[in-house]
Amino acid sequence: MSLLIGAVAALVIGVLAGLFIYQDTGFVVIGVGHWTIQGSLTLFLLLDSLVIALVYLSVRGLVRLGGLGERVRVWQGRRAAARAREALTRGLLLLAEGDWRGAEKSLVRLAVHSETPLLNYLAAARAAQAQGAHERRDHYLNLAHESMPSADVAVSLTQAELQLAHQQLEQALATLMHLRGVAPQHAYVLKLLETLYRRLGDWQSLRDLLPELRRRRVEPEAQLQDLELDIHRALLAQAAGDPDPQRLGALWESMPRSLRSRPGLIQAYVGHEVSRGRGPLVVPMLSDYLRKSWSEELIAVLGAIASDEPARQLAVAEPWLASHPSNPVLLLALGRLCIQASLWGKARGYLEASIGVSPLPETYRELGLLMDRLGEKDKAVECYRAGLELKIAGAEDPAGKRLQAQGYAGPGTKAIAAPVETLVRPGYSA
């Protein structure tokens, strides 16, 4: 529409100009020395317009010719950037396909022309890592940092990940400590630190890091609770190996009360005390806990530990039958306590009741040992055979297997972490 209006306006102006020229063309006289030039005004105006147009076009052409080099450089830059994008795309595809060498070559070939050289160098560092070329990896990481100093966190995180993958734990620790100073609240930095401390076995540092992991919600609370349990189990194991006999108990007392009420941690602590020959000292603690909370694992532990006062311990444990009358693990534990108290008939009754509810290889072994002690050799052999058949059939033994995993053993077995003599009453042996 605007083009049509402009054309009509130009036509009107042209018609008016033609009429004006037709009515009075006018003339122009130019004198130069002895020369005189005379012509119509219309011709003079046309020549002036032509000269002005030629001068304008000449000047514009010269200007454009002067900027030709710059335009060529811009074109070359755009072409190089396009080729760099193609090289980056190809390099990433090769990296995804596992062609580490080809990926590295494609990623660094035109990285200097890339619009995002940081991505080129970070991906090239991963390709070099996959080839075991750690010097080239570090070189690419340095180039990545130089290409974008503001991306220090991204570069350092990549460096820490690659160092962890190559088991360069000390170097990874230095990198993550640097990151902790730069970005102390970064969740992924905290996650990598957790992984690193686990691998280093630095459980005390991991324990100090745990509140920050919770505050930043690095993991779900359930996983953090499992991590807390693992940390304190490991700390208990370290304390158990300390020559100072008081360190284990002191560490246990220093733990939060909520942790000391968790069966898994109680098992770990008791196991270490038993392995140090201090089993009777933890019997009251187990009894107190079991009065409040039921745990098959701890019931099995209680029955496997030698007690200084087995009759008294039996009196504490027997009332639990009222609420758990058909629990095979409780019946097995009571049978073991009766054996410690030399109550052979009662022990036999409990062990046979346990087998009647759920036959376990461990229970057959205990009953076989008791029959052997009482002189009933044939019945002892039958018990051993039945227990062996259960073992061969792959039957689970929640009492024996869980105890052995914690370092306990019942009468007639070999303890993993403690000799049998520390677990059974003196005078009763296999």
**H-helix or E-strand spanning residue 390:** helix 377-392
279, 384: one domain: yes
Tell me the C-alpha distance between 234 and 239, whole Å: 9
Instruction: Return the number of other C-beta atoms located less than 10 Å from residue 329's C-beta.
Output: 24
Tell me the pLDDT band of 392, cut-offs 50, 70 and 90: confident
| Under 8 Å between Cβ of 408 and 301 | yes
Tell me the pLDDT band of 429, cut-offs 50, 70 and 90: very low
358, 226: one domain: no
Query: Of 45-59, 84-98, 143-157, which gets the smallest average pLDDT?
Result: 45-59
> Which of these three, 81, 115, 147, is where a domain ends?
147
Residue 408 has pLDDT above 60, yes or no: no
Pairing type for strands 35-40 and 27-32 reads: antiparallel
pLDDT tens digits, 108-140: 988 888 888 999 999 999 999 999 998 999 999
pLDDT, position 167: 92
Phi, psi dihedral angles at 419 (to 5 degrees): -70, 155
**Integer CA distances (angstroms), 373 to 307, 369, 392, in order:** 20, 6, 25
Question: Which residues, 6+ apart, have CB-to-CB distance to 38 below 8 Å?
Answer: 27, 28, 29, 30
pLDDT tens digits, 329-376: 999 999 999 999 999 999 999 999 999 999 999 999 999 999 999 999
For residues 309-327, give the mean pLDDT: 90
- Looking at the structure of the chain, the number of domains it has is 3
206, 346: one domain: no
Query: Of 87-91, 152-156, 187-191, 278-282, which gets the smallest average pLDDT?
Result: 278-282
Helix locations, 24-97, DSSP H:
41-66, 68-97
Average pLDDT, the chain: 83
326, 194: one domain: no
| Under 8 Å between Cβ of 92 and 124 | no
Tell me the pLDDT band of 194, cut-offs 50, 70 and 90: very high
Sign of the CA dihedral running 414, 420, 423, 425: positive
230, 277: one domain: no
Query: Of 88-97, 298-307, 342-351, which gets the smallest average pLDDT?
Result: 298-307
| Residue 35 resides in a domain | no
Greater confidence (407 vs 368) lies with 368
Place of tokens 């520390």: 422
Tell me the C-alpha distance between 359 and 352, whole Å: 9
pTM score of the predicted model: 0.64
Q: What is the CATH classification number for the domain harbouring 160? A: 1.25.40.10
User: pLDDT over 70 for what percent of the chain?
Assistant: 82
pLDDT, position 192: 96
| Under 8 Å between Cβ of 420 and 426 | no
| Residue 325 resides in a domain | yes
| Under 8 Å between Cβ of 92 and 103 | yes
Q: Is 199 helix (H, G, I), strand (E, B) or coil?
A: helix
| Residue 411 resides in a domain | yes
**Integer CA distances (angstroms), 26 to 17, 32, 38, 41, 55, in order:** 13, 20, 11, 5, 26
Residue 414 has pLDDT above 60, yes or no: no
Phi, psi dihedral angles at 230 (to 5 degrees): -60, -40
Greater confidence (230 vs 4) lies with 230
> Which of these three, 244, 270, 305, is where a domain ends?
244
213, 316: one domain: no
308, 239: one domain: no
353, 287: one domain: yes
> Which of these three, 130, 147, 164, is where a domain ends?
147
| Residue 252 resides in a domain | no
pLDDT, position 137: 94
In DSSP notation, 340-384 reads: HTT-HHHHHHHHHHHHHHS--HHHHHHHHHHHHHTT-HHHHHHHH
pLDDT, position 357: 94
User: CB-hemisphere CA count at 13 Å for 208?
Assistant: 5
| Residue 284 resides in a domain | yes
For residues 247-264, give the mean pLDDT: 89
Q: What is the CATH classification number for the domain harbouring 81? A: 1.25.40
Domain span including residue 387: 261-430
pLDDT, position 413: 33
Phi, psi dihedral angles at 158 (to 5 degrees): -60, -40
| Residue 62 resides in a domain | no
